[in-house]
Amino acid sequence: MATRINKYLSEVGYCSRRRADILIENGKVTINGKIPEIGAKVEEGDHIEVEGHIIEKLTRQKKIYLAFNKPVGIVCTTDRRLEPHNIVDFIKFPTRIFPVGRLDKLSEGLIFLTNDGDIVNKILRARNNHEKEYIVSVNRLINQDFIQRMSNGVEILDTITKHCFVKQLGPKKFKIILTQGLNRQIRRMCEKLGYRVRTLKRVRIMNIKLDVPTGQYRGLTNDELLELNRLLKNSSKTFD
């Protein structure tokens, strides 16, 4: 049965469908020696390479789902040529895995890693309203006006952020729960209001809480996966 090349690369655990489309657009993928178009399909026996690496079919391999506590200074990329302090080299997991979403270099905390491309796209869809919880400290005292303005939405990146839950935890510390993932969203929101982020830690993604020391990971439990799949049941797998 023929399968779209982006779906195939996702299913074998090479990357997400979105990342596969980017690789195809940049001419980094070949099927039987030829650069395909977006939407091309592959069949059994086709020879597939990505950036010169032969892709072996891994669909029988066990699906991996990890919860990792990313330290500050580690970059959420699988491209070892661009960034020596990348997440894959740091973990040194024996199976090919890739991060679900990003935490910027200066941030720390919970991030998923997996070889299941379908679950990646489901989680990343901002419109699915999947919660992500962060603990943030800033450079000066927080007041109620700051909390209210952060909650109601801040104008950044030519849009206004969605309403979100914000709670003050200390003089310069707060908790925020987001359901969208704009680039460096919390840092940009704080900067817009005249604050600078000092520390930023993600402590929860949906039903999964951060409970391992910095720099360590664990596999998701069966109960966690069941609940995660329940929450993702009606989520779209693909990007518009």
E-strand ranges in the chain read 3-4, 29-31, 41-42, 48-50, 53-54, 65-70, 98-99, 108-114, 132-138, 155-156, 159-160, 165-170, 173-178, 197-205, 208-209, 217-219
Q: Which amino acid is at 18?
A: R
**Residue 54 buriedness (CB in 10 A; 0-12 / 13-18 / 19+):** exposed
Q: How far is CA 38 from CA 8, 115, 158, 183, 204, in A?
A: 13, 22, 29, 26, 35
Active site residues: 104
Rg, C-alpha atoms of the chain: 19
Q: Which one-letter DSSP state was computed for residue 6? A: H
Residue whose pair of structure tokens reads 């109960």 in the numeric block: 223
